[in-house]
């Protein structure tokens, strides 16, 4: 199934566990350059706080169905955070006291 972001952002996201509306899709989280979609961000309350205090990250594995009108998501309590990017290790900080 292919769906554009402009189409996805018009659909309400519903939690299938309690029937609450979490709002419309605000953002999509994906990896670069692999292009793998990790999940979506909705303006719901509670759960993992990814972007700001009220936004909720929903992992792609938690999305049950994308229908014509709504997106059904299985959100149980806290959702897992997106995987952290693999970055090279940081160099240790220099101690500038030795230069004095």
The domain that contains 54 carries what CATH number?
A: 2.30.30.240
- Looking at every residue in the chain, the average pLDDT score rounds to 78
Residue 31 lies in a domain: yes
Q: How confident is the model at residue 43 (pLDDT cuts 50, 70, 90)?
A: confident
Confidence (pTM): 0.65
Residue 85 lies in a domain: no
Q: State the Cα–Cα distance between residues 79 and 88, nearest whole angstrom.
A: 27
Could you tell me which residues come within 8 angstroms of residue 81 by beta carbon, excluding any fewer than 6 positions away?
Answer: 48, 50, 57
Task: Note down the domain range covering 18.
Answer: 5-75
Residue 59 lies in a domain: yes
Residue 41 lies in a domain: yes
Cα distance between the two ends of the chain: 64
Q: State the Cα–Cα distance between residues 21 and 5, nearest whole angstrom.
A: 19
Residue 99 lies in a domain: no
Residue 91 lies in a domain: no
Q: Which helix (H) or strand (E) holds 7?
A: helix 5-8
Task: Please count the structural domains in the chain.
Answer: 1
Tell me: pLDDT of 94 over 50: yes
Residue 48 lies in a domain: yes
């Amino acid at each position: 199934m292919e769906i554009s972001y402009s189409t996805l952002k018009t659909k309400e996201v519903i939690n299938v566990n309690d029937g609450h509306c979490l709002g419309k899709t605000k953002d999509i989280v994906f990896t670069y350059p692999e292009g793998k979609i990790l999940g979506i961000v909705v303006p719901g309350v509670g759960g993992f706080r990814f972007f700001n205090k009220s936004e909720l990250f929903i992992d792609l594995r938690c999305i049950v169905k994308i229908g014509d009108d709504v997106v059904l998501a299985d959100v149980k309590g806290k959702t897992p955070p997106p995987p952290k990017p693999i970055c090279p290790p940081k160099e240790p900080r220099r101690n500038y006291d030795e230069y004095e």
